[in-house]
Amino acid sequence: MDAFLGYYNYWIVIALMMTGLYTVAASGNLVKKIIGLNIFQTSVFLFFISVGKVSGGTAPILAEGWTRYSNPLPHVLILTAIVVGVATTAVGLALIVRVNRAYATIEDDEIRRSDLPDSS
Amino acid sequence: MIASHLPALQVVVPLVAAPVCVLLRWSRVAWMVAMAASLFAVGGAWCLLAGVLSAGPTSYFLGSWAAPWGIEYRVDETNAWVMLVVSVISAVSLLFARRSVEREVETDRIHLFYTAWLLCLAGLLGMAVTADAFNVFVFLEISSLSTYVLVSLGTRREALVAALRYLVLGTVGATFFLIGVGLLYQVTGTLNMGDLATRIAQLGPHRTVTAAFGFLAVGIAVKSAVYPLHTWLPNAYAFAPSAVSAFLAGTATKVSLYLLLRFLFTVFGHEFVAGGPVPVLLALTGVAAVVAASVAAVRQDDAKRLLGFSSVAQIGYLVLGVSLLTTEGVAASLIHLFGHALMKTALFVCLGAIVYRIGSARIDDMAGIAKRMPWTCAALVVGGLSLIGVPLTAGFVGKWYLVAAALEAGWWPVAAAMLLASLIAVAYVWKLVESAYFRAPSARVAAARGAPFSMVAAAWGLSGANIWFGIDTSLPIGVANRAAAALLGG
Amino acid sequence: METPALFLCLALPLAGAALVLLLGRWPNLREAASLATGGWLFLEVLALLPAVEAGDRPRAVLVSVIPEIPLAFEVEPLGMLFALVASSLWIVTTIYSIGYMRGHGETNQTRFYACFAIAIASAIGVAFASNLLTLFVFYEVLTLSTYPLVTHSGTDEARRAGRVYLGVLLGTSIAFQLFAILWVWVLAGETGFRSGGILAGRADPLATTILLALFVFGIGKAAVMPFHRWLPAAMVAPTPVSALLHAVAVVKAGVFAVLKVVVYVFGPGHLAAIGGTSGWLIAVAAVTILAGSLVAMRRDNLKARLAYSTVSQLSYIVMGALVASVWGIVGAGLHIVMHAFAKITLFFCAGAVLVAHHRTEVSELDGIGRAMPITMAAFLVASLSIVGLPLLGGMWSKWYLALGTIESGRYELLAVLMLSSLLSVAYLLPIPVRAFARPSPGGGSGEGIREAPWPCVLAIVLTATGCLVLFWFAERWLRLLSQLTG
């Protein structure tokens, strides 16, 4: 039981990660792929942040009566990673807009079909 | 004063130059800014390499924060060499890019094109120079994001799809890398590579470290297009603007392979790697790459796609050299890394020049082009010969050492696979040469003229370097041997 | 002995090529430049002979490509011999080409002469190479520089032939030869040619046999079956190319390389010591000798017949080398010279018939001897030399090859040699017999004498005389070659 509950943050991360990856792989809709990618990345963010938690610790701001603080470094790292994630999503969505303009669809298989004569 | 900040300036200069391009909005000036930044990087990398060769590795602490806490930039033989290759390729591709981009990218976007180029360059140089695992991720994403943009600027609509597919795969790869970094941090509490190495060695066998290794390896493998995670590469190279194909072919996968070396040997260490199934796995993917991708290359009708598959095969060679885990093997990979950057960029530049004149990269459309563009096609032949590994070209030296290293390690099948793939390379290179030289020109070709001087100069600069470094091999061999010794010894 | 003059031997034909390109617009000057460089080159090569005969080894280092393995040259008896043959016959072939190319109205003559000169430079490089890497480098340059000559006519057929040519030669050299060179490097730690070989005591019998096979098949220019297809394919080239390159420079570079590898890398002693394990390779060579002859008999196209005859004759040399006995090696070395003079004459004649009468098939040659008496007489002389009759140079090489087989006690190989001689009688002699004895198809012999242009005839006479003269002056070459075996 402890093996399950004691590591609950990991289980959540894994569940999210698999959901995200599955969406990326299985969805034919490009926007959904990007959403899947987002979920996948978010799971990793959660993983970093939960790793930085020190049990009994508080937010890493000097305060009266606290001697234990959570590790701030993962939070900082993840701030950067979130920015990267947002940028990726932005580029991805921008590309999808242009794909939609060029192909009039955002379904992967339809795009593939309309490009078949050129690239296989 | 400036010299001591060179490691940081390698990244900072292109990073600052990028927004400058956005602000100036003038395509010609943007090109000049990009060129200046690239040339600065060439000079900087050269100084760094010279410094390392004479005085040993140097460390630079960003903001003067000491190592395990602050971000360290560490320059040794390996990454100084990689930075030199990257910046030289960037400068030469820019020389080619000016005319090519004017044709292939809309005028009001050209300055943005060079912005993305500079960001990509900054990312690649950053990946090479930094000694901080998380910092690697940041630069990896900077270079990747700008690469997606560069690829999507290709003239055909397929470029958009290729860029998007690359984005999805690339992001998954980069996120895998991030997971690996997270796991490592969880176990060791540090992100500095030198620090990581000591602590991993102290830990001994550890399941989390192994898991971290797996994630990092897969992440890097995606970015460096190690077979079978290469699927993004052929289309990305085929549909990107010609100049981008040339630039990426010589740099992006090379830096990722450098990362592989860095993590294998500096962070995890020879003992950790040699104990596991890594060498065999690497060798298997390498053999699969050199054979399968070469065969796929023969079957292409589009010359740029053909070269893309050939790149996957050549990456297989580099992986094979690394998989031996010997000094000879790693040195051979570093030599071939340099040679392949030269030859593949040369080929893409030549093809780009042909595309500039006839507007197509289909092999059938290039029939008889040699009569119209003799200089470009001669450079193409030299690059092709180097790709095959004909003596007196840079490609031969790399292959010689790779096969010799495999034989020395007793890996006969690997050596045989490498030579077999060279044979297949004869077939696909010949496809190009035969079409260019020995077929009747089409109407489109008959109207073509010789390529602009800047393109021919870039092509011959690279092809000439292929011949030069096929004859005077002291520089690449000397550096590669020292770098490999340092990687495996320290 | 450091001899920078060796570079001159390489540089001269290259300079010749450059000169030819520069003078392309003035055909007379261009051919004069070709001839002049040819003559000068021959004198330079000849000047090296006394030193080599005295047991000296002129050497020179060009550049170090791979540390420890420089591109370096060293003249030893075999290389001396090959270089002399290649450079002397280049002059004759240039004379012949002038008549042929103009008489036949070929296009792209400048490219033709330039590639020709580069091919000669690489042949000299092969001849003087002092290690396996240098040999390999010039071997590949030779392949690449002769490719445009093979596809000279630019027709579909020529392009197909070019693909076979390049595919077989590049393919075998990369897959087998390069592999073998690297293996030798790993085993022996060096790739230099040394008398007595460098593999003795470093390679076990199995490795030696595999290596030997890799070299024999990897040196595709030696045209050992099943890697002989490129040679008949290359016959689409203009006749001077077939004559000098595909009877002398290219193919002899192949068998020369085999011989050199046997003598200086494996060492005859080492090969003899491992004994029968290389027997199957000798059998392959023997099969090539017989099969080549049999195919030659069935070819009606004159050049194709000569090509298969070359395939067969080349394996004489390979066999002589593989037998690795004293006389076998000497015979193989001599055969490089003797066969070169005879076969180039035969090709010259074939080309002359083509230029003067536009005939390519053996069955069209009835009575042509009356129109071209000099050409067909030369053809007869050269045929007899190939067969190996006395008073002609070809006798000596067969003699020593036969001695070699007897010396090593392999009488079955002696039988192969004899049988093949009979076969060569059967495929070569009917041609001059037809030409002289049968009436021409038109009935009357009214056309009178119509020979090819005079430069062609001059070249034919020179090489045919060579076949005769070599019979009397074989001793000097014999003495030179016996340095190899001590």
Name the phi and psi angles at A58, rounded to 5.
-115, 180
C169-179: average pLDDT:
88
Residue A61 lies in a domain: no
C449 versus B339: the higher-pLDDT residue is B339
Window B:289-308, CB contacts with A under 8 Å? 302, 305
From chain A, the residues in CB contact with B160 under 8 A are 95, 98-99, 102
From chain A, the residues in CB contact with B165 under 8 A are none
- Range with the poorest average pLDDT among A54-63, B146-155, B364-373: A54-63
Helix or strand holding residue B75 (H, E): strand B72-75
**A10–B contact, CB cutoff 8 A:** no
Whose CA is closest to B216, among B158, B261, B159, B165? B261
Q: Are C96 and C133 in contact (CB under 8 A)?
A: no
Q: Are B180 and A36 in contact (CB under 8 A)?
A: no
Joined together, the tokens standing for residue A88 give 């990726």
Structural domain tally of chain A? 1
Domain ranges of chain B: 302-490
In A, minimum Cα distance to B177 occurs at A44
pLDDT of residue B1: 58
Closest-CA distance, A44 to chain B, in angstroms, reads: 6
pLDDT of residue A120: 42
ipTM confidence:
0.91
Q: Rounded CA gap, C37 and C12, in Å?
A: 6
Residues C408-443: tens digit of each pLDDT: 888 888 888 888 888 888 888 888 888 888 777 765
Task: Give whole-number Cα distances, B37 to B32, B244, B458, C456, in Å.
Answer: 9, 17, 18, 64
C50-71: average pLDDT:
81
Q: Rounded CA gap, B353 and C185, in Å?
A: 41
Name the phi and psi angles at A6, rounded to 5.
-60, -25
- Range with the poorest average pLDDT among B89-98, B207-216, B384-393, C202-211: C202-211
Q: What is the DSSP letter of B69?
A: T
From chain C, the residues in CB contact with B408 under 8 A are 186
pLDDT of residue B372: 83
Residues C81-95: tens digit of each pLDDT: 888 888 888 888 888
Residue A23 lies in a domain: yes
Q: Rounded CA gap, B344 and B314, in Å?
A: 10
Interface residues from chain C to B (CB-CB < 8 Å): 63-67, 133, 136-137, 140-141, 144, 151, 154, 159, 162-163, 166-167, 170-171, 174-175, 178-179, 182-183, 185-186
pLDDT of residue B80: 92
Asked if B438 lies within 8 A of C178 by C-beta distance, the reply is no
- CB under 8 Å to B206, separation ≥6 — which residues? B187, B200
At residue C231, what is the residue type?
Answer: L
Q: Are B356 and B451 in contact (CB under 8 A)?
A: yes
Q: Rounded CA gap, C415 and B328, in Å?
A: 50
Inter-chain Cβ pairs, chain B and chain C, closer than 8 A = 71
Helix or strand holding residue B73 (H, E): strand B72-75
From chain C, the residues in CB contact with B404 under 8 A are 182, 185-186
Nearest to C175 among B400, B419, B472 (CB): B419
**Is 90 exceeded by the pLDDT of residue B144?**
yes
The rounded Cα C274 to chain-centroid distance in angstroms is: 29
Asked if B419 lies within 8 A of C179 by C-beta distance, the reply is yes
Q: Do chains A and B touch (3 or more CB pairs under 8 A)?
A: yes
**Is 80 exceeded by the pLDDT of residue B202?**
yes
Closest-CA distance, C165 to chain B, in angstroms, reads: 12
Residue A48 lies in a domain: yes
Whose CA is closest to B116, among C331, A91, C470? A91
Q: Rounded CA gap, C241 and C168, in Å?
A: 18
Asked if B397 lies within 8 A of C66 by C-beta distance, the reply is yes
B12-40: average pLDDT:
90
pLDDT of residue B35: 93
In B, minimum Cα distance to C134 occurs at B391
Asked if C174 lies within 8 A of B438 by C-beta distance, the reply is no
Nearest to A99 among B160, B175, B235 (CB): B160
C238-247: average pLDDT:
80
Residues A75-112: tens digit of each pLDDT: 888 999 999 999 999 999 999 999 999 888 888 888 88
CATH classification at residue A111: 1.10.287.3510
Q: Which percentage of chain B shows pLDDT scores above 70?
A: 99
- Range with the poorest average pLDDT among B53-57, B291-295, B343-347, C454-458: C454-458
Asked if A87 lies within 8 A of B157 by C-beta distance, the reply is no
Q: Rounded CA gap, B454 and B102, in Å?
A: 13
Closest-CA distance, A92 to chain B, in angstroms, reads: 6
Q: Give DSSP secondary structure letters for B109-140.
A: GHHHHHHHHHHHHHHHHHHHHB-BHHHHHHHH
Q: What sections of B366-472 are H helices per DSSP?
A: 369-372, 374-388, 394-408, 412-438, 443-446, 453-471
Which residues span the domain enclosing A79?
Answer: 2-54+66-115
Report residue A6's pLDDT band, with 50, 70 and 90 as the boundaries: confident
Residue A38 lies in a domain: yes
**A96–B contact, CB cutoff 8 A:** yes
pLDDT of residue A119: 45
pLDDT of residue C486: 62
Q: Which percentage of chain C shows pLDDT scores above 70?
A: 98
Residues C191-216: tens digit of each pLDDT: 888 887 888 777 788 888 888 888 98
Q: Rounded CA gap, C266 and C260, in Å?
A: 9
Residues B208-259: tens digit of each pLDDT: 889 999 999 999 999 988 888 888 899 899 999 999 999 999 898 899 999 9
Q: Are A102 and B160 in contact (CB under 8 A)?
A: yes
Selected for mutation to probe chain A from B150, B156, B157, B365 (highest A CB count within 10 Å) is B157
Residue A60 lies in a domain: no
**pTM attached to this predicted model:** 0.88
Selected for mutation to probe chain C from B407, B472, B481 (highest C CB count within 10 Å) is B407
Residue A59 lies in a domain: no
pLDDT of residue A116: 65
Q: Are C374 and C452 in contact (CB under 8 A)?
A: no
**Is 50 exceeded by the pLDDT of residue B81?**
yes
Q: What is the DSSP letter of A68?
A: -
